[in-house]
Structure 1
Amino acid sequence: MQLYLLRHGIAEENSPNGSDADRGLTAEGRRKLRQVLQAAADVGIEPTLILTSPLKRAVQTAEIARQVLKYKNELLRTKALVPGATVEQVWDEIRAHRGEPSLVLVGHNPLFGELAAYLLGSKDVQIDVKKGALLRIDLESFPAHPRGVLRWHLTAKLAADRE
């Protein structure tokens, strides 16, 4: 499986109603996210499934991914990707979709930094997943404790530098 971790783009500091769950993406966040996703599209990424946190900024990020990556299916929302979820909960969700050749997860930090380390088989690894960043981790099997391979980590800065 080619697993992609896509952290949501830059979001508003506060939502109009004060709820963290309702914070949306900023114009800058949308722009930078499109750059990252266009770079991904340019190398042929074609997700077979996109799972997203149900929080507004993550859903908006997933919608942009759907457009740029030409994903035609429904976005699936899962509580396994909300802030406060555990890496084990996310791993269970990934394992439930092990038949997908190309899975995109859209979510938040610190979960995604911790998840990347967990998927690579080491809690000692520290990966700083910036807003709007996209990581590819390849998984060959789905044991109780994963041992994936990090193929690349694309940030908004790297995507902007290629233009």
Structure 2
Amino acid sequence: MNLYMLRHASAGQRRSNPVLDVKRPLDKAGKRDCLLLGNTLTSMNVSFDMIVSSPLKRSLQTASLVGTETGYEQKIVLSDALAPAATYAQFEKLLMECSGVESLLVVGHSPNLVEFLGTLMQPAQQTRASRPPASIRLRKGAIAKLNLERGAATMQWMLDPRVIRTLYANSTTRSRRKISRK
């Protein structure tokens, strides 16, 4: 399975009231980053067989925007296994339920999505409880591709929204390298 782990894009300031925070939408920068990420993934010929999102609004918006840009036409599945309070056991159960899917995108939150990513990359011989998960920085709007074939997951690549914005800005401002002629 190719597992794509995407942290929701920028959604402004966290609300102190948890009921209001659940409904917090993406901000303008977050929406722009989702569209750029979707375009980048399309140009890399990445497509998804299934998209699973946290039920919180900002994650669902991220999944929807990226899915639309990559040509995903099925319904986005909502799962509490990707909610901010989810445990690794819940996430592992979700992966088992999706085991027949070849290309899976999951959209969630930090810190648990980052912990899930680090735990997946630990070697199977080591007990996951005895050693802390690998430390990986996954910014808002960043995506990581993992290959889940045998043993520990292998990270294939990771894209940060800052890198995507820079690549997009440089590719659109000039199509040809500047060459000095003296």
Q: What does 1:1-163 correspond to in 2, within 5 Å?
A: 1-13=1-13, 19-121=20-122, 123-141=132-150, 147-163=152-168
Q: Is the 1:80–1:86 Cα contact (8 Å) retained in structure 2?
A: yes
Q: TM-score, normalised by structure 2?
A: 0.82
Q: Structure 1: how far apart are the matches of 2:141 and 2:77?
A: 19
| Matched-pair contact (CA < 8 Å) for 1:36–1:155 | no
Deviation string, structure 1 residues 50-107 (Cα, Å, up to 9, x no partner): 0000000001011102211110101000000000111221111011111100000010
Q: For 2:38 and 2:160, how far apart are their aligned partners in 1?
A: 10
Identity %: 29
4+ aligned runs moved over 6 Å, structure 1: none
CA spacing shift, 1:118–1:124, aligned 2, 3 Å: closer
* Cα deviation 1:128-153 (Å, max 9, x = unaligned): 11000010000014xxxx51000011
Distance 1:4 1:29 in 2: 18
Cα distance in 2 for residues equivalent to 1:130 and 1:36: 13
Aligned partners of 1:69 and 1:87: how far apart in 2?
28
Work out whether residues 38 and 67 of structure 2, in 8 Å CA contact, stay in contact via their aligned partners in 1: no
1:4-44 deviation per Cα after TM superposition (whole angstroms, max 9, x unaligned):
001101003256x8611000000111111221222111111
- When the two chains are superposed, the root-mean-square deviation of aligned CA atoms in Å is 1.5
Structure 2: which 5+ residue stretches go unaligned? 124-131, 169-182
- The range that moved more, 120-129 or 24-33, is 120-129
SS at match of 1:150: strand
Letter matched to residue 154 of structure 1:
L
Give the letter for the 2:3 counterpart. L
Structure 1: tracts of 5 or more residues without a match: none
Between 1 and 2, higher relative CO (CA 8 Å, sep ≥ 6) is seen in: 1
